[in-house]
Structure 1
Amino acid sequence: MNKEVISTRQGISIMILFLIGTTLVAGGANKAQQDAWISISFAILMAIPLCFMYSRITTLLYGKNLFEIVEILFGRILGKIITILYTWYFFHIGSLVIRNITEFIQVVSFPDTPQPFVAIFMGLVVIYMIKSGIEGLGRWTEFVLPVVLFTLIIIIFLSAPKVNLMNLRPILYNGFKPVFQGAVSLIIFPFAETIVFTVVFSSLQNHRKSFKIYFVSILIAGLVIFSISIRNILVLGASSIGTLYFPSYSAVSLIDIGDFLQRIEVIVSVTLIVSSIAKLSVFLFATSLGIAQIFNLKNYTSIATPICLLMINLSIIIYGSTMEMFHWIERFLPYYSIPFQLIIPLCIWITAEIKGKSYNATSKNP
């Protein structure tokens, strides 16, 4: 099977859509209330050194994905164990992405539509993406990203008549603790979820551009999340945002420019769903590649369909309600994610710094 290759631009496109996908659906840094914009600013700054670590891992053993890297560094047995853990993590978060979108669609658009129907439709689209290969996903996101960004910018400007600048006050009324908590929650979801790109970036055309992709993507996606968050606060107010599951949708639903522009939230819903499909595709790709690595399969695309169906099944049974889903995300997701996003990657990075250069020298001169 020929090695798939994605360009730097395609890598940036995939990561930006990945970062803004479900973040705009579910919101972020709500604990900080009117100070959410401060939390987002801190989260962006905190994400940069974390993503330097991720990019460094892929650069030190270039051309290898995360699963191959851990077997090279830690041996076959421990490497397989780490691969199994990460494969589960990517599979689980992929299921959570599906549930986020199906809850969003059911709550705001089609309350009578069964969630499995929506999940299966999404699954078919994502399976097609993976069957097309990571190159196909790269080309698609490269085309879609400008449309998504343009739509979001226009929507922000259309919200201007509903803005109330007093909603940003008082600043730091509840102290710095909620701001810090909001920043940490944003690091975990979505910025540190980019650990999954240590799987994707084995396909990079130029491995030395890995950190550039991380850096540019975090800045652009962070700016989008920052702008949307500010808009939500100015339009809805902090007290209203705290009671809403999907504040971005609620803010857009208030746009009403005479008889010319109404129900514009439908366009926004489509935009958010498209972004989330990109995110789900990345997790399905990583999970399929992980399973292929565990069982020594040569072609990951052949197992994408059953894995996606299992993701859909898990997404349906994992939470009993929208409230339960958001409760788990807020209370348990940070503790669940830290080992996968920080502790294990830190161990991999340190080991790669020690062994990586000698491995590359050996591979060049066998």
Structure 2
Amino acid sequence: MNKEMITTKQGVYLLTLFMIGSNLFMGLAPAAKSDAWIAALMGTLMALPIIFIYARLLSLFKGRDIFDILNLVFGNVLGKIVALAYIWYPLHLGAMVIRDLGEFFNTVAMPETPMLLPMLFLGFLSIWAVIAGVELLGRCSKIFLPIVVIIMFITSLLVIPYWNFAHLKPVMYDGIGPVLNSAFDIFSFPLAETVLFLAVFSALKTETSIYRVYYSGLFIFAAIGVLLTLRNILVLGGDIVSVVNFPLYVEVSRINIGEFIQRIEVSVATTFVITDFIKVSVCLYVTCIGISKLFGLKNYRSIVVQTGLLMVLLAYIMYENIMDMIYFAFEIYAYYALPFQVILPAIILVIAELRIRTGQLHIGKKY
């Protein structure tokens, strides 16, 4: 069977859509209020070193994913133990994103629809995509990102009459503390979540610069994130942005131009589904790859359906209500995810560099 491959452009688009996920729709750095756009910029700067670590690992171990790297660096036994962390993390993250969509439909878009229905819809759609392979996700990303950008651009033009620049003042009224805390939240959710692409970008074509792909995706997302965060603040104000659950949807719902252009928040719901689909599919793909490597399965596709349904079930039972979801996302998640996103990758890179330089580890290309 031929190895699945994705191009540079597909990799950048896939990474960007993954980072957009549900994050922009839940709002970036709500605790920073009118300074959220500053927090978004600072979070991007915080992400630069960790993105370098991810790219360095993939450049050292060309053609290998995180589970192959763990086996080479730590050995068969310890490598499999650490691999459990990178099986659990994408499983849990995918469940979180599925629940985000379920809560969105249940509380805002379609409150009379049982929450489980949109969650099952997203789960089955992701199962189909992962069975089709990472190449399909790459091709989908080339179609979906322009659609998402066009929708965001059009809605941005339509909300211009509602802008109020007074909402941007005062700058850092509460000091730099809330901005730094919010920047760390953005760093963790979603920028450092791209650690999962250590299991995806082994499929990049061999001539591709992994640094270029990672940093291009990061800067595209940063531009979109800062602009949309500014837009939310200009329209709603920092105080409202900090308390509503889906500020982007609330903002667009205000559009009413000449009684002709109105009720276009369905466009936001569409982009929400698209980006969540990509993010859940990546999480499901990484989970299945990890399980197949852990148990020596010949093909990860044999466990996609079971794993996908498990992810939906976890999403359904993980929170009591939307307040539990918001509390975990903005108060706990950044610290919970730190070992997966920062500590383990840094340890892996340090040990790999030491073993390579001392001649204990010899790496051959794997394609």
| TM-score normalized with structure 2 length | 0.97
The one-character-per-residue Cα deviations of 1:18-70 (angstroms, maximum 9, x if unpaired) are 01111122111111110011101111111111101101111101111001100
The one-character-per-residue Cα deviations of 1:262-303 (angstroms, maximum 9, x if unpaired) are 111001110121011101110000000011011101111121
Aligned-partner Cα distance in 1 for 2:70–2:362 = 18
Q: 1:162: which partner in 2?
A: 162
Is residue 14–residue 278 contact of structure 1 (8 Å, CA) maintained in 2? yes
Please state if 1:294 is matched with 2:294: yes
Is residue 201–residue 207 contact of structure 1 (8 Å, CA) maintained in 2? no
The one-character-per-residue Cα deviations of 1:203-250 (angstroms, maximum 9, x if unpaired) are 110365111111111111111111111010010011111220111110
The 1:125/1:172 distance shift into structure 2, 3 A limit, reads: same
Instruction: State the Cα distance separating 1:170 from its structure 2 match.
Output: 0.3
Which runs of structure 2 are paired with 1:235-274 in the superposition (5 Å)? 235-274=235-274
Q: 2:13: which partner in 1?
A: 13
Consecutive unaligned residues in structure 2, runs of 5 or more: none
Aligned-partner Cα distance in 1 for 2:185–2:164 = 26
Q: 1:171: which partner in 2?
A: 171
Q: Which amino acid aligns with 1:210?
A: I
Instruction: State the Cα distance separating 1:355 from its structure 2 match.
Output: 3.1
Q: 1:216: which partner in 2?
A: 216
Q: Which amino acid aligns with 2:364?
A: S
Aligned-partner Cα distance in 2 for 1:211–1:351 = 21
Please state if 1:27 is matched with 2:27: yes
Is residue 43–residue 183 contact of structure 1 (8 Å, CA) maintained in 2? yes
Consecutive unaligned residues in structure 1, runs of 5 or more: none
Q: 1:317: which partner in 2?
A: 317
Q: Which moved more, 1:167-176 or 1:19-28?
A: 19-28
What secondary structure is seen at the aligned counterpart in 2 of 1:206?
A: coil
Is residue 288–residue 304 contact of structure 2 (8 Å, CA) maintained in 1? yes
The one-character-per-residue Cα deviations of 1:143-201 (angstroms, maximum 9, x if unpaired) are 11111111111111111001100000000100000010110000000000000000001
The 1:177/1:110 distance shift into structure 2, 3 A limit, reads: same
Please state if 1:276 is matched with 2:276: yes
Is residue 61–residue 352 contact of structure 1 (8 Å, CA) maintained in 2? no
Aligned-partner Cα distance in 2 for 1:59–1:351 = 15
| TM-score normalized with structure 1 length | 0.97
Is residue 8–residue 206 contact of structure 1 (8 Å, CA) maintained in 2? no
Aligned-partner Cα distance in 2 for 1:7–1:359 = 33
Q: 1:363: which partner in 2?
A: 364
Q: Which amino acid aligns with 1:157?
A: L
Q: 2:94: which partner in 1?
A: 94
Q: Which moved more, 1:348-357 or 1:10-19?
A: 348-357
The 1:207/1:102 distance shift into structure 2, 3 A limit, reads: farther
Report how many aligned residue pairs link the two structures. 365
Percentage identity across aligned positions?
39
Instruction: State the Cα distance separating 1:314 from its structure 2 match.
Output: 0.5
What secondary structure is seen at the aligned counterpart in 2 of 1:363?
A: coil
Instruction: State the Cα distance separating 1:17 from its structure 2 match.
Output: 0.4
Q: Which amino acid aligns with 1:197?
A: F
Is residue 62–residue 207 contact of structure 1 (8 Å, CA) maintained in 2? no
Which runs of structure 2 are paired with 1:132-147 in the superposition (5 Å)? 132-147=132-147
Aligned-partner Cα distance in 2 for 1:310–1:353 = 37
Aligned-partner Cα distance in 2 for 1:58–1:152 = 32
The 1:328/1:7 distance shift into structure 2, 3 A limit, reads: same
What secondary structure is seen at the aligned counterpart in 2 of 1:3?
A: coil
Instruction: State the Cα distance separating 1:356 from its structure 2 match.
Output: 4.5
Q: 1:196: which partner in 2?
A: 196
What secondary structure is seen at the aligned counterpart in 1 of 2:262?
A: coil
Is residue 288–residue 304 contact of structure 1 (8 Å, CA) maintained in 2? yes
Q: 2:227: which partner in 1?
A: 227
Cα RMSD over matched residues?
1.5
Aligned-partner Cα distance in 1 for 2:208–2:362 = 17
Q: Which amino acid aligns with 1:323?
A: M
Q: Which moved more, 1:181-190 or 1:233-242?
A: 233-242
Aligned-partner Cα distance in 2 for 1:37–1:118 = 31
Is residue 95–residue 312 contact of structure 2 (8 Å, CA) maintained in 1? yes
Q: Which amino acid aligns with 1:363?
A: G
The 1:62/1:327 distance shift into structure 2, 3 A limit, reads: same
Aligned-partner Cα distance in 2 for 1:12–1:47 = 16
Is residue 32–residue 242 contact of structure 2 (8 Å, CA) maintained in 1? no
